[in-house]
Amino acid sequence: MTILVLNAGSSSLKYQLFRFENGAHAVLAKGVVERIGLNGSFVGHKGKDGAEVRIDGAIANHTDALKKVFAALTDKDYGVISGVSDISAFGHRILHGAEDFNASVLMTEENLQKCRKNIDLGPLHMPPNLACVDACRELARDTPNAAVFDTAFHSTMDKTAFMYAIPYEYYTDYKIRKYGFHGTSHRYVSGEAIKYMEKIGKNPSRIITCHLGNGSSIAAVKDGKVIDTSMGLTPLEGLMMGTRSGDLDPAVIEFIAVKTGKNLAETINILNKKSGVLGVSGVSSDFRDLSAAAEEGNERAELALGMFAYRVKKYIGSYFAALNGADAIVFTGGIGENSVKMRERILKGLCGLGVKFCAERNLSAKRGEISEINAADSEIKILVIPTDEELVIARETFELTAGK
């Protein structure tokens, strides 16, 4: 089977083309469509024999973007398939499944309507996600579409973990509760951690997964199921991030609005897009820029990095309590996989929990591979595991559509 995985943002579309054969998989091509609906639109494509090309041109919407993707995949010079009919299925990342979906599903008309009903739970992400499904249904009518939900892996949380302490009817009437996100990443790396530890003779049941990037979240996973996670009704709750504030006193929202004259929507936009390490540092939302600025003596950049590490550490500690201990802590995501210094900031000071960090192993951890960065006598494994959300989506799509 050949499966095209699609991850649509408001003005972008990431894609990977997988082939599944005889129990194995391979990535045939990948790329991204940038600046959809804006000036300077282009496709960055990596195709046949690893050839990389940039294709510039106006791209009005997600249907237009998908046409460009199809053109790149079938191009005589750098394409990898002869026609769109070679694609067996489409796998879509869908942000929010609400309480309607606790697993991946085929995108029937009924399921699509349920997703549309949940747009107000993810107003920034859901419209482009569903626009991409609509485009596939329009351009390849006979090809099945699978929906893989960011929230599904977290659906095993108990009510004591996912409920908010607000009037109960807000939950029953409006489904206001914690849902959690980055589910495909947490699912992938927790599964890889279990497999890794079983190979070395361990039997892990309690894993804390830290997906750290421009968007960051942490999950407590017991026996392969999530019991708590840091993000909430939306991705704004939890850790401070690149541009998101994370946890704060809800009264801050009104206070900002009154003091600045902003309306509610403008204030929430500030918390989503102008806060986090960007807001604190005034430098950048990119942690590499912050690290460089901190090394040059920028105190606000150093403060932002310190705040981020401190809050990650607090969540790890709280999930130790929720899990009654831990067998492994896993780092993944752009920062978790690549920032040696941030991992060290976070892990120093966790000795009281049985965590023994090894600076030498941390420094020598190889990118793209599973690495242990704990000391040899640490009670708890500390693992760096590269995530692969697209592979999770491809596998889910394969399971739903194989033989159909």
pLDDT tens profile 378-400: 999 999 999 999 999 999 999 99
Asked if 135 and 229 sit in the same domain, the reply is no
Residue 397 lies in a domain: no
pTM for the full predicted model: 0.93
Residue 216 lies in a domain: yes
State the pLDDT at residue 123: 84
Asked if 106 and 219 sit in the same domain, the reply is no
Residue 48 lies in a domain: yes
State the pLDDT at residue 403: 61
State the pLDDT at residue 404: 59
Residue where a domain stops, chosen among 107, 123, 149: 149
Residue 159 lies in a domain: no
Asked if 136 and 217 sit in the same domain, the reply is no
Asked if 121 and 222 sit in the same domain, the reply is no
Give pLDDT tens digits for 175-218: 999 999 999 999 999 999 999 999 999 888 999 999 999 999 99
Residue 318 lies in a domain: yes
State the pLDDT at residue 369: 95
Residue 392 lies in a domain: no
Assess whether 327 carries a catalytic annotation: no
Residue 226 lies in a domain: yes
Give the domain extent around 16. Answer: 2-149
Residue where a domain stops, chosen among 149, 179, 213: 149
Asked if 6 and 133 sit in the same domain, the reply is yes
HEC states along the chain?
Answer: CEEEEEEECCCEEEEEEEEEECCEEEEEEEEEEECCCCCCCEEEEECHHHCEEEEECCCCCHHHHHHHHHHHHHCCCCCCCCCHHHCCEEEEEECCCCCCCCCCEECCHHHHHHHHHCHHHCCCCHHHHHHHHHHHHHHCCCCCEEEEECCHHHHHCCHHHHCCCCCHHHHHHHCCCCCCCCHHHHHHHHHHHHHHHHHCCCCCCEEEEEECCCCCEEEEEECCEEEEECCCCCCCCCCCCCCCCCCCCCHHHHHHHHHHCCCHHHHHHHHHHCCHHHHHHCCCCCHHHHHHHHHCCCHHHHHHHHHHHHHHHHHHHHHHHHHCCCCEEEEEHHHHHHCHHHHHHHHCCCHHHCCCECHHHHHHCCCCCCEECECCCCCCEEEECCCCHHHHHHHHHHHHHCCC
Asked if 225 and 332 sit in the same domain, the reply is yes
Asked if 283 and 379 sit in the same domain, the reply is yes
Residue 339 lies in a domain: yes
Asked if 35 and 115 sit in the same domain, the reply is yes
Asked if 219 and 79 sit in the same domain, the reply is no
Asked if 276 and 370 sit in the same domain, the reply is yes
Asked if 229 and 127 sit in the same domain, the reply is no
How many independent structural domains does the chain possess?
2
Residue where a domain stops, chosen among 149, 165, 194: 149
Mark the ranges of the chain whose per-residue pLDDT is less than 50.
none
Asked if 15 and 80 sit in the same domain, the reply is yes
- The CATH number that applies at residue 74 is 3.30.420.40
Which of the following is catalytic: 49, 120, 134, 150?
Answer: 150
